[in-house]
Chains A and B, each alone.
Chain A
């Protein structure tokens, strides 16, 4: 049990669909992150939220829209995705940003058809 949960674990969606990924952390952390892990590429940070405020957007296309309603929940809203967006999407949390240890969820395996 990592303390960070993600739903759904698997998702298949068409390019015209709209879906959302959910992440919840039970660790009392203040920072949450979205990462993308594609085959044969290093893990890429997408967004960082610190105390519910977005502090980093790593040049992510607008078809990915994050939402952080509170320090425990993080969403990634998806719309009009492309097949190359198929990947494992990982959520993480830490006590604060930067110098603190990150804890990861199990990920959502997304396939865009």
Chain B
């Protein structure tokens, strides 16, 4: 199967600090990775789309200077929440989509990262 990992699974930080979340595709090459945010009992909200080697495309209303995305390789994307504030507390989930036959348009999700900003 297609496995996506995220690290850390949960993080608590102080207001004003930056937090980096890693997303890795373990058994396939992900040409595209997505970052979502999910509030309790709500649906997934797409934040940005990143393709390997190019700049991320952010959804309307998402601050690109606050949520820095780097898709450095075909198996790794990172999301850095800069100068985090309590309102950034949320569940962040990445997904990966590969170019391998059979998974070209299927997104596989990571287990999520719970961010709490004090």
Do the two chains bind?
Answer: no
Q: B residues within 8 Å of A by Cβ?
A: none
Q: A residues within 8 Å of B by Cβ?
A: none
